[in-house]
Structure 1
Amino acid sequence: MDSGSAGGRRGLRRDAGLIRRSDPSQYQFLLLQQGSTSLSHNGRQVDLFPGDMTLIDSSRPYDGWHEAGAGRYLTVQFPRELLPAPRAAADRLVGGRLRGQAGMGALVFTFATRAAGELDRYSPADTARVTTTLLDLLGGLISHELEAGDVLPAESHRRVLLQRIQAYIVRHLGDRDLTPAAIAQAHHISTRTLHRLFEGHGQGVAAWIRALRLEHCRRDLVTSVHDGRPVHAVAARWGFHAPAHFTRAFRGAFGVSPLEFRRRAAASAPSP
């Protein structure tokens, strides 16, 4: 991954001569974070704005430029054969505008941006896992853009679907009606398929939701020590609407009741 910036009108050009001298046979995935860019590539000409993305093929000429003003972008370069989608499918999107402001595009844009910002914190094994996930998500975006669910290999398709479902759960974590049936319906799959996806991940869907809710409650019980919010309000914010059930679940996860946990957090917190 690489990030960069540009001011004023700056050209980005790769002609046939450069390709003959050196062609790494790579795709370059470009995400525009600030400013505007125009690109002519693969028989297309597009204008890109913040949140937009495009796929560039190093074996094909391109001509682009940043418009006046500060521009900032993130690029991800990788060998073409690593993309978990047939080249013919990816080539249909080369040089086109991919929107990263909502839906599947937003998931890819957010993941890539956050991953790039934390690269120095990853171990080599972490870097390999993050790279695999990003390539799967990019393959999923290609599949989504082409409206062809069979573009991805089966395993990559499952991983992308799981990522989408987990992102959905995070967004709706406080909803009272966040049930396996509702999640499956929102993603047009059966509840049986949903359970199989999470079993392959190592944890059932209900257990994953509960663990995530409990972790958010634990964090809020620490940060809300001085703001007067009662424990039951913290629990309800994250989907626990029965106080007794919340207390049992919290004690089972952390070894103490939520009230005792908050007392300990208050005792160790600095005075406001």
Structure 2
Amino acid sequence: MMVIPLQTASAGQRVTTSGSMLYEGGVDYFRSQFCQPLLHADFVPTTDVPFRVTAKLGIVDDHRSLRLYCTPGILRRRGALGSPAPAHCLVIATGNSCALLIKDQTVRLKPGAAVVLDGSCDFDLVLEKESGRSCLLDWLHISQSAEALFPGLEALTVINSEAITTYIRFHNELMTSDQGAELTAIPEVPSFNHLVEIIRAYLLGMAPSRTHDRDRLLHDQIKMHITENLSSRDLSPESIARHFEISPRKLYGLFERLGASLRETIITLRLEAAHRDLEQGRKKVATILLDYGFSNASTFYRLYKKQFGRPPRSGRGTAAAAGKRSEASAADDR
């Protein structure tokens, strides 16, 4: 379990909270006076329930903490909406199930999830209805670019850490207090800088696994492509690299890191396909040699025996013999 030491605002750091603002039946006013200037977003209700929202805001320097309780709806962020926002990063923690639509992908977020977003990205955040509960959203607007704060950060990164989500909520609870006054050097208010350090450490810790997951997915996709094109005369490292829009060097390196070399992988897949055809007993060895790109019969025999422990003809013979035994058994039963 991750333990997060609390670091609070430094002496003299300006901390301002604006208290809570209650809107009833005024979705247009909420959009124009809160969503657009503070979130750089629009809000679209998605139910027939009368619109209701409690919005709380806290400010430290140019950073913002926002907490929303509202009826279900969509927070729609578009760069063309109003004046462009300065470079910033968003950290969002959800109290309800919701969906995040960004860059042609949909990410389902469970209650208690947190995400880190590049503030320049367009997205839709769909806040979903839960029985008897308002939608809860903690929104941190950090006034530095995502690239500067978290080098290598993707447009969207999900934080699967209950400790970090709890810390974000604790931060917002203090930052969005109902006092509605400017506070100076409040010792209980956690530091934005410390929050950024915690998230950065988490992202660095998960970076190797993210890279490995992407490489493993690409590796599996390439193997599937090879399997589907074993009989193609155009199958080659160059054609594979072109198909996946990567360099041959990256292609070779990927297979070296994740197991057998590309050459060994292609040979193994060809041998397995040849073995399946031989076991079915429907093709001659000479035909299979041509089907799977083995130009040298002696090489094929040697590799096949090494892979399966017997010469290729025995595979075909075994299948045929098994078929005859089955037919004989059936005749006896009759």
TM-score of Structure 1 vs Structure 2, range by shorter chain = 0.3 to 0.5
Which structure has the larger Rg over C-alpha atoms?
Answer: 2
Kindly indicate which of the two structures has a greater share of residues assigned to strand: 2
TM-score normalised by structure 1 residue count? 0.45
Kindly indicate which of the two structures has a greater share of residues assigned to helix: 1
Q: Which has the higher contact order (CA 8 A, sep 6+)?
A: 2
